Amino acid sequence: MTDKSQHFDVVIAGGGMVGSMLAAALAEGSVVGLPGENANKPPLNVCVLEGVRPETFEPGSDPDYDIRVSALSNATQHMFENVGAWQGVIDRRACVYREMAVWDGEAAGRTHFDAGDIGASELGHIVENRVVQLALLDRLEAAANITLKCPARLATYRTTGDSSVVTLESGEQLTAHLLVGADGARSTVRKIAGIEVDSSRYPQHALVASIKTTLPQQAITWQRFQPTGPQAFLPLCGSRASMVWYHTEEEVERLLALDVEAFSVAMCDAFPAELGGIESVSARSSFPLVKAHAARYVDERIALIGDAAHTVHPLAGQGVNLGMLDAAALADVILETHAAHRDIGARRYLRRYERWRRGENALMISAFDSFFHVFKPQPRPVQWLRSAALNMADHGGPLKRLVMGHAMGTRGHLPTLARTRFAAG
């Protein structure tokens, strides 16, 4: 019987932002490349399965804002620059932020971070998720060694001696030396592999709203810790902003049920007056808060990245940045293994990626979880201690620089794409 399946080196299930970054890192001409004498070796043949293509956003146009936004760190920006996709972000829409203000809503503690304190021009950019994805898709569609299938979703797969045999929902069949699960928190790849997840839900939901304010936005993000949950205010272009309020599920549902006028009044009453009044609300939504960590990131012919491997409390906005670091680290491991003429799908080589990223992600999950517990309603002595800690951080030079370094993604064991600007593309 004739084998009608298509053959690839790597199949990435669930492109999204993180899966598309991995594909871009493996794309022909990527600055990660193949080292030394292997530089002229044919590039890997990669297939990306994308479920839904984001709504079109032509450079130069000004469509309504996507309610889903991410705070991209400097390290993530480096990755985009190095795969030739950053200009696609800038040509569409991105808002730089140079400062970050954090304060305790129950006590007097407050700290302020400024990029200038460490000689940086910015702390990061607030970017709509669809802009992130579209800029990467532009890069993938221009790469000769990338096959983009959209709409396409993985239905099931099985592993054989030297490949994963992937069946799509359409019935189409693919084979690959390595299958990467970038298919989100409910990963089908992870489920079929039988990889367990340590998961728990927080007693909060996140209420998100895209708004226009009476005051122009400054290049600063605001975060206040209230007894009911953190409040965040993220600047977008002009007088646009994204508001996030973590509250009980019941209260979030009540707020979402309000008409626009009543909702605006509720937000103005809850958020600091210095952020400006709300002129209009263009979109609002909510989602539950979950922390989760896969027991392992790899198996024979399988690797997990991004939300398929871990989810964190979103209060620090670092979820997407952790996923991007996963993608860049896995790209390093795949390309180095390929250059050494070894099997890119063999678990013994993929374990390097797991050792690299799982420990770092576990540390970040614990850190964000600690923030949640420290700033939930506490007795007065605990309030005083956490407030004193914020004030101390504001005046502690080395500690402040350390925190800023982690927020910018410039600390730790960084992958090639995140370490340096190569001025690609």
Q: In one letter, which amino acid is 369?
A: D
Q: Which DSSP string corresponds to 217-274?
A: PPSEEEEEEETTEEEEEEE-STTEEEEEEEE-HHHHHHHHHS-HHHHHHHHHHHS-GG
Phi, psi dihedral angles at 124 (to 5 degrees)? 165, -165
pLDDT category of residue 43 using cuts at 50, 70 and 90: confident
Contact 59, 91 (CB under 8 A): yes
Q: What is the average pLDDT across 406-410?
A: 59
Check residue 346 and report its DSSP letter.
-
Check residue 388 and report its DSSP letter.
H
Q: What is the token pair recorded at 344?
A: 């890119």
Collapse the DSSP code of 143 into the 3-class scheme (helix H, G, I; strand E, B; otherwise coil) and give the result.
Answer: coil
Bridging pattern class, strands 220-226 and 278-294: unpaired
Over the chain, what is the mean pLDDT? 86
Stretch (H or E) spanning 322:
helix 319-339
Over 90: is that where the pLDDT of 388 sits? Answer: no
Q: Residue 202 to residues 61, 184, 186, 236: CA-CA distances in angstroms?
A: 39, 18, 17, 28
What confidence tens digit (pLDDT) does each residue in 212-270 have?
998 887 888 888 877 777 888 999 998 999 999 989 999 999 999 999 999 999 998 88
Contact 119, 240 (CB under 8 A): no
Residues 189, 195, 198, 203, CA torsion sign: positive
Residue 392: CB atoms within 10 A of its CB come to 13
Over 80: is that where the pLDDT of 374 sits? Answer: no
Over 60: is that where the pLDDT of 29 sits? Answer: yes
pLDDT category of residue 424 using cuts at 50, 70 and 90: very low
Provide the pLDDT for residue 380. 53
Q: What is the average pLDDT across 371-378?
A: 59
Residue 216: CB atoms within 10 A of its CB come to 11
Stretch (H or E) spanning 320:
helix 319-339
DSSP β-bridge partners for residue 290: 201
Name the E strands within 94-252.
95-97, 99-104, 110-114, 124-128, 146-149, 154-159, 164-168, 173-181, 197-213, 220-226, 229-235, 240-247
Higher pLDDT, 396 or 103: 103
Q: In one letter, which amino acid is 361?
A: N
pLDDT category of residue 191 using cuts at 50, 70 and 90: very high
Higher pLDDT, 14 or 363: 14
Q: Which residue has the tokens 């030394």?
A: 36
Residues 118, 122, 124, 126, CA torsion sign: positive
Provide the pLDDT for residue 303. 98
Which range has the worst mean pLDDT, 76-85, 130-139, 177-186, 210-219? Answer: 210-219
Q: Which residue has the tokens 């199949």?
A: 11
Q: Which DSSP string corresponds to 32-101?
A: S---GGGTTSPPP-EEEE-SSPPPP--TT--PPPPS-EEEEEHHHHHHHHHTT-HHHHHTT--EEE-EEE
pLDDT category of residue 376 using cuts at 50, 70 and 90: low
Q: Which residue has the tokens 């690299």?
A: 356
Contact 191, 234 (CB under 8 A): no
Question: Among 216, 409, 200, which Cα is nearest to 322's?
Answer: 409
Question: Among 100, 109, 105, 113, which Cα is nearest to 386's?
Answer: 109
Q: What is the average pLDDT across 149-175?
A: 96
